[in-house]
A and B are shown apart, each in its own frame.
Chain A
Amino acid sequence: MSGLLRLLARHRRAVILTVALVLSFLLMTLQVRHEAAVVTFTRQVVLFSVSPFIKVTAALVQGTRNLWRDYVDLRHLREENKHLQGEVAVLQRRIDQLEEQSLETQRLQRLLAMRESPQAGFLTARVVGKDATNWFKTILLDRGSQEGVRRNQPVLAPDGLVGRVVEVTPTSAKVQLLTDPVSAVGGLVQRTRVTGIVSGNLGAGARVRYLPLLADVVVGDEVVTSGMGGVFPKGIPVGRITAVERRSGALFQEASLQPLADLGRLEEVMILTALDGGTSFGAGATREGGTGFEAAGARRP
Chain B
Amino acid sequence: MNWFLLGLLFCVLAQAVLLAPFSLGGIRPDLYLLLVFFVSQRVSPEVATVLAFMIGLWQDGLSGGPLGLRAFTYSLMGFLASRLSHHMYTDRPRAVFWLLLGGSAGAGCITLALLIFFLGPPPLVPALVFLIVPEALYTAAVGLLIFWLPQVRDALARSA
Nearest 9 Cβ contacts at the A-B interface? A46-B61, A27-B68, A203-B131, A203-B130, A136-B64, A129-B16, A24-B72, A138-B64, A204-B126
Residue of A nearest to B108 (CB): A135
CB-contact partner of B63 in A21, A23, A136, under 8 A:
A136
Per-residue B-contact encoding for A115-148, CB less than 8 Å = 1, 0 else: 0000000000000111111111110100000000
A181 and B124 alpha carbons, distance in the complex (Å): 13
B16 touches A130 (CB 8 A): yes
A202 and B130 alpha carbons, distance in the complex (Å): 8
B126 touches A203 (CB 8 A): yes
Q: Is B37 an interface residue (CB 8 A)?
A: no
Q: Is A20 an interface residue (CB 8 A)?
A: yes
B46 touches A31 (CB 8 A): no
Known contacts A24-B71, A61-B17, A204-B123; A50/B12 CB under 8 A:
yes
Q: Is B58 an interface residue (CB 8 A)?
A: yes
Chain A: minimal CB distance from B26 (Å): 6
Chain A: minimal CB distance from B53 (Å): 4
Selected A-B contacts with CB under 8 Å, 5 pairs: A25-B72, A42-B67, A132-B16, A202-B115, A202-B123
- Among the 9-residue stretches B27-35, B93-101, B140-148, the one with 4 or more Cβ atoms under 8 Å from chain A is B27-35
Which A residues lie at the B interface, using CB under 8 A? 12-13, 16-17, 20-21, 23-28, 31-32, 39, 42-43, 45-47, 50, 53-54, 57-58, 61, 128-138, 140, 166, 174, 176, 180-182, 201-204, 264, 292-293, 296-297, 300
B49 touches A133 (CB 8 A): no
Chain B: minimal CB distance from A152 (Å): 14
Q: Is B150 an interface residue (CB 8 A)?
A: no
Chain A: minimal CB distance from B128 (Å): 8
B126 touches A138 (CB 8 A): no
A39 and B60 alpha carbons, distance in the complex (Å): 10
Interface residues on B, range: 35 or more
CB-contact partner of A132 in B52, B62, B131, under 8 A:
B62
CB-contact partner of A166 in B60, B64, B71, B126, under 8 A:
B64
A204 and B122 alpha carbons, distance in the complex (Å): 11
Please name 18 further chain A to chain B contacts, defined as beta carbons within 8 Å, in addition to the given A47-B61, A57-B18, sorted by A numbering: A16-B50, A17-B45, A20-B49, A31-B66, A50-B62, A53-B9, A53-B12, A130-B15, A131-B64, A132-B63, A134-B131, A180-B64, A181-B115, A182-B65, A182-B119, A204-B130, A264-B26, A296-B120
For A27, the chain B residues whose CB sits under 8 A away are 66-68, 71
Known contacts A13-B46, A13-B79, A293-B118; A133/B70 CB under 8 A:
yes
CB-contact partner of B71 in A20, A133, A135, under 8 A:
A20
CB-contact partner of A181 in B62, B76, B119, under 8 A:
B119
